[in-house]
Chains A and B, each alone.
Chain A
Amino acid sequence: QQKVQQSPESLTVSEGAMASLNCTFSDGTSDNFRWYRQHSGKGLEVLVSIFSDGEKEEGRFTAHLNRASLHVSLHIREPQPSDSAVYLCAMSSGGNYKPTFGKGTSLVVHP
């Protein structure tokens, strides 16, 4: 079973500074990757999906995937206090509809 590790566990940044979150996985069989955001007491919402090596941008959110390095990252440009939330990465293989989630990174953005 795919194992997913997220780092750091928590991150504090100032408003406007870049926030970078990381996710490493245990094998290269996954071919679709997503970053979700979860505000306190809420469900998860998808931010960006990426299916091939390289980068994918959705507004202020950019995902970078390097399957050879077993690594996917999320960069948040100009974070705002409303971006304070837990960010989870998830991955699955094309024929397997069971995504595996990391434990999340708690992001705090100070004004």
Chain B
Amino acid sequence: EAAVTQSPRNKVAVTGGKVTLSCNQTNNHNNMYWYRQDTGHGLRLIHYSYGAGSTEKGDIPDGYKASRPSQENFSLILELATPSQTSVYFCASGVGPQNTLYFGAGTRLSVL
């Protein structure tokens, strides 16, 4: 069954540390996305990718980097984590132009 798998599911990090969130999809979708979800803000797009080797800035990219080394894998990197990056992060894949998104189960990140 096609799926989007995120790891880790939960993460506690220290301020100033480096955090890498990973996402793997077996949908063979070209497009992949990283969102964060916060109360009062809904889902906000951080970075996205159209395919291996490409990354694009979303609506709130500051403080985040992304890497798409292959069709299947898309990582979100916080080089210097801050408490304001405490959130639930979702990865999704999709194929356009219809582009229904298929989401992972989320990663809960706490930066202390």
A45 touches B31 (CB 8 A): no
**Quick one: which of A99, A102, A103 contacts B40, CB cutoff 8 A?**
A103
Judged by a CB distance under 8 angstroms, whether B26 is at the interface is no
Judged by a CB distance under 8 angstroms, whether A88 is at the interface is yes
Binds A, one of B13-21, B66-74, B79-87, B99-107: B99-107
Complex: chain A residue closest to B56, CB-CB: A98
Q: B41–A103 contact, CB under 8 A?
A: yes
Give the A-binding residues of B (Cβ under 8 A).
4, 31, 35, 40-43, 45, 48, 50, 58-59, 90, 92, 94, 96-106
* A94 contacts B by Cβ under 8 Å: yes
A44 B42 Cβ-Cβ under 8 A: no
Task: Please name all residues of chain A whose beta carbon is closer than 8 Å to the beta carbon of B41 when the two chains form the complex.
Answer: 103
Contact B90 A97 (CB under 8 A): no
Q: Which residue of chain B has its CB nearest to the CB of A44? A: B103
Q: In the complex, what residues of A have CB within 8 A of residue B48's CB?
A: 97-98
* B106: chain A residues within 8 A (beta carbon): 41-43
Q: How many A-B residue pairs have CB under 8 A?
A: 54
Interface string of A86-111 (1 = CB under 8 A from B): 00101010110111011110000000
Give the interface size class of chain A. Answer: 20 to 34
- Assess the B100–A44 pair: CB atoms within 8 A: no
Interface centre among B41, B50, B90, B96 (most CB of A within 10 A): B96
Q: Are A1 and B90 in contact (CB under 8 A)?
A: no
Tell which of A34, A42, A43, A98 touches B45, judged by Cβ atoms closer than 8 Å: A98
Q: Are B94 and A97 in contact (CB under 8 A)?
A: yes
Is A88 a contact of B42 with CB atoms below 8 Å?
yes
CA A45 – CA B100 in complex, angstroms?
Answer: 10
